[in-house]
Amino acid sequence: MTDISQDDLRAAVEAGRISEAQAASLIALAQARSGARSGLRDAEEPFELFRGFNEVFVVVGLCVLLGGWLALALGAFSVDDEPLLAVFSTILSVAVLFVLSHYFIKRRRMVGPALLLTVSVVVSGLLLSSSVIYIWNDMEDPLGQRDLLLLFGIGLAVSGIHWWQFRVPIALGAIALLLYGFAVAILSPGWDVLNDPGGLFLLTGRSYVGVLTLLFGIGTFAMAMRFDLKDRFRVTRNTANAFWLHTVAATFIVSTIAVSLMQSGGWVAYGLLALFLVFMATVAIVVDRRSFIMAGIGYVIALSFTLFSDDGAPYFVLLLGIVLTLLGAKWADLRRGLMGLLPLGALADKLPPTKDML
């Protein structure tokens, strides 16, 4: 008798043969019978990098292969007399990566190689954009609006085609970042990110790129929640799509507010920052996504060194580590308590359930 894998159950859900709740129950039952944790839905946020050591072996091989090929491709940029060689080499790189993707993603369905190949396709798309700019601009003058639109536009097209063909979730995160870069290039043509990188997250900057960053983060969060609400029990690919979009959204939202408040300075700004981080942590717990807390850890540490002396800050960081460890250990219990206290209404029935909601 052939064993039924989690991929088979996910495929059955996507095909409409069984419901998400039925698939989640079958997965939990199988894990309980094999001695694995039976409370996956209540205690864990699904995340998978490798399915076995063979995938690690394949990823190492691909890294060596792609590293050698990248060295050859980059060498084409140094050939002054043959600028078209740079374009040809990057187009060939993209084609080779699509062939490898077809084998390792569509045929072998490997998780680790899928992540590596998708990231490589995004990088190759940007290299293809750079090779086109190399011809038009000789890479000597500062990058203008046209160059940036080409950079992000071609990269976006290559990444979008790869997503359309292979549906690797991490591609959505890359597409979101490229869309953001494209929007910045359109709306702020005179702004130089290399000379003012902090302006990306500063709401009071002259270019107001920070406002765009915040709005884009909120929009990305909304898109991530659409995927999450389609997959309440987190047994289909929608949950992985949402994971990468939540990661991008958390970085944009938390960084924009935190950088702007820390730039303002003063006890009022620091107090608002502390309240904001608590609010984002609450949102993270309710929607059962840890990315918002991960995005805010660095700012909490920076805030501790700003408010406390050099002698007192390490004690606060130690306390923060204890709190985060306990939060990870008691995440399900804390989430269950918050879900019972907050007036979520009908939304509670669409969010991932706790044990008392099953």
67, 139: one domain: yes
Q: How far apart are CA 110 and CA 102, in angstroms?
A: 11
Is 305 part of a structural domain of the chain? yes
Read off the pLDDT of residues 331-350 as tens digits, 9 standing for 90 and up. 888 998 888 888 888 888 88
Indicate the range of 64-73, 174-183, 219-228 predicted with least confidence: 64-73
60, 33: one domain: no
Average pLDDT over residues 121-129: 90
Q: 66 pLDDT band (50/70/90 cuts)?
A: confident
127, 8: one domain: no
- Looking at the chain, the whole-number percentage of residues with pLDDT higher than 70 is 82
Q: Look at residue 82 in the predicted model and tell me its pLDDT.
A: 63
Is 161 part of a structural domain of the chain? yes
216, 321: one domain: yes
Q: Look at residue 296 in the predicted model and tell me its pLDDT.
A: 84
52, 117: one domain: yes
198, 90: one domain: no
Is 136 part of a structural domain of the chain? yes
205, 336: one domain: yes
Q: 202 pLDDT band (50/70/90 cuts)?
A: confident
Q: Look at residue 302 in the predicted model and tell me its pLDDT.
A: 77
Q: How far apart are CA 250 and CA 202, in angstroms?
A: 16
61, 165: one domain: yes
Is 258 part of a structural domain of the chain? yes
Q: Look at residue 137 in the predicted model and tell me its pLDDT.
A: 67
Is 186 part of a structural domain of the chain? no
Q: Look at residue 39 in the predicted model and tell me its pLDDT.
A: 46
201, 220: one domain: yes
Average pLDDT, the chain: 82
Is 177 part of a structural domain of the chain? no
Neighbour count for residue 214 (Cβ, 10 Å):
18
Is 341 part of a structural domain of the chain? yes
264, 155: one domain: no
Q: Look at residue 37 in the predicted model and tell me its pLDDT.
A: 39
Structural domain range at position 32 = 1-38
Average pLDDT over residues 39-57: 71
Q: 250 pLDDT band (50/70/90 cuts)?
A: very high
Q: 324 pLDDT band (50/70/90 cuts)?
A: confident
218, 294: one domain: yes
Is 284 part of a structural domain of the chain? yes
pTM: 0.83
Number of domains composing the chain: 3
204, 259: one domain: yes
